[in-house]
Amino acid sequence: MSRHLFVAGTDTGIGKTHAAQALVHAFRRAGERVAGMKPVASGSARGPEGMRNQDALDLQAASAPHPAYERVNPVALEEAVAPHLAALRAGRAIDWPTIDDAFQSLARDYDRVVVEGVGGWMVPLATGMSTEDMPSRWDLPVVLVVGVRLGCISHARLTARAIQADGCRLAGWIANVIEPTMPLLEENIQTLRDYLPAPCLGVLPYRVAPADAAVLLDLGPLG
């Protein structure tokens, strides 16, 4: 089983990067060399060093030792829209060799690579190429991040079912509280525990720094 991981989400904006950073910090606390990676990112800003995406910068900062940005995020797209549309409008092709090379480079140099997807599970990247192909291609177990808010139970169950239907292994899931005033918060998290076909790796409270959230994660099921 691969030691590297793929972090998927039930949707966009539910805290994948936050949870991925927490995982990176948790593995670092266990003594591992760990790199975060976001192979494809839209919503990037152009600067003196080129295109930079904030989620990718956050993952780079959490990694130890720090990898070069181009290895963390080989495809940075400016517009904050679906990546296949951002690439089309930028006149850029998203292709496997570019992101394969970056992943393999990190996998050679680090004990663990935590790869964050883009958006939800089935986001198109290019013709015949989609986000869910990454964990299949690289043989990565999947950690599902559930943004705990109204509607999350159905979204989480549907995503878990899709992960398994695509032949990937759901290694565990993380509850990320994004609506702290949600009615019956604890009851909803318990329902997720009851219905999702993988162990809960932890519950991340609202707006807790990733390095602090790391201590709340159970890495045991991840090997």
Task: Give the angle 119-120-123 at the CA atoms, nearest 5°.
Answer: 75
Q: pTM above the 0.85 mark?
A: yes
Give me the catalytic one of 25, 28, 38, 112.
38
pLDDT score for 1: 60
Of 207, 152, 148, 210, nearest to 179 (Cα)?
148
10-residue mean pLDDT series, the chain (223 residues): 92 96 98 98 94 98 97 98 96 96 98 97 97 98 97 98 98 97 97 98 96 97 92
DSSP state of 169: -
How many helices (H) and strands (E) in the chain?
Answer: 9, 12
Strands (E) across 38-132 are located at: 40-42, 45-47, 50-52, 75-77, 112-116, 124-126, 129-130
Cβ neighbors of 220 (< 8 A, separation 6 or more) are none
pLDDT score for 89: 96
CB–CB of 3/188 below 8 Å? no
CB–CB of 180/44 below 8 Å? no
CA gyration radius, the chain: 16
Q: Name the token pair of 89.
A: 């409008």
38 is catalytic: yes
3-state SS assignment for residue 20: helix
Q: How far apart are CA 8 and CA 16, in angstroms?
A: 7
Helices 152-165 & 185-195 angle (0-180, nearest 10): 20
CB–CB of 75/84 below 8 Å? no
